[in-house]
Amino acid sequence: MYNEDAFNATKDAFYQYGQFFRAVADELGLDKAMKLHMEAYKLYGADAESMLKEAYGDKINLKAMAEFLDETLRAGGWEFQMVEESPKSYLFKHTKCPECEGLFMAGLDAETVEAHCRKSVETVTPYLRKLVPGVKLGVRKWDAPAYCEEELLLEK
């Protein structure tokens, strides 16, 4: 269920982060800012790995990861639905993304917001692979702010 209060709180946090990201990009360049963002996002990946281990123990599989993604994103105010499910993949369609909207509010252009989103998701994959070899989290289609599609899949 969509939580508007959580959406607004998360959007505001990403607005503030977006302001900081812009200042870093203005000072050091966009490439350096993106590299620093990815380094910082590794902490999120490590946290996700720990939370999955704590929640699912040795029963971590693709379905458990999809449930975790569903729960954590909804708690943060994302509005989305699972549009495809198979034994090897889960496809989510995001229709309200507080990260995207906050970054747009901070004045980042669409190309930078898309790159930021894709890099964030890519950075998490190695941590997920420690738990389920061959898993990949990726952005399949990005058309924000209208929607984007995020896919969790087994590549093997």
The per-residue pLDDT for range 79-89, each reduced to its tens digit, is 989 999 999 99
CB 87 within 8 A of CB 61: no
- Residues 27-47: pLDDT tens digits? 999 999 999 999 999 999 999
Segment 110-134 mean pLDDT: 94
Fold entry, domain 4-154 = Muramoyl-pentapeptide Carboxypeptidase; domain 2 (3.30.1380)
Strands (E), the chain: 79-86, 89-96, 135-143, 147-154
pLDDT-derived band at 77, boundaries 50, 70, 90: very high
Question: How far does Cα 9 stand from its chain's mean position?
Answer: 16
* Arithmetic mean of pLDDT over the chain: 94
SS3 109: coil
Segment 91-103 mean pLDDT: 94
Where are the domains positioned within the chain?
Answer: 4-154
- Exposed / middle / buried, residue 43 (Cβ in 10 Å: 0-12, 13-18, 19+): exposed
Q: Is residue 156 scored above 80 in pLDDT?
A: no
Q: Look at residues 154, 132, 148, 156 and name the one whose alpha carbon lies nearest to residue 73.
A: 148
Q: Is residue 122 scored above 80 in pLDDT?
A: yes
- Residues 45-69: pLDDT tens digits? 999 999 999 999 888 999 999 999 9
- Residues 107-117: pLDDT tens digits? 999 999 999 99
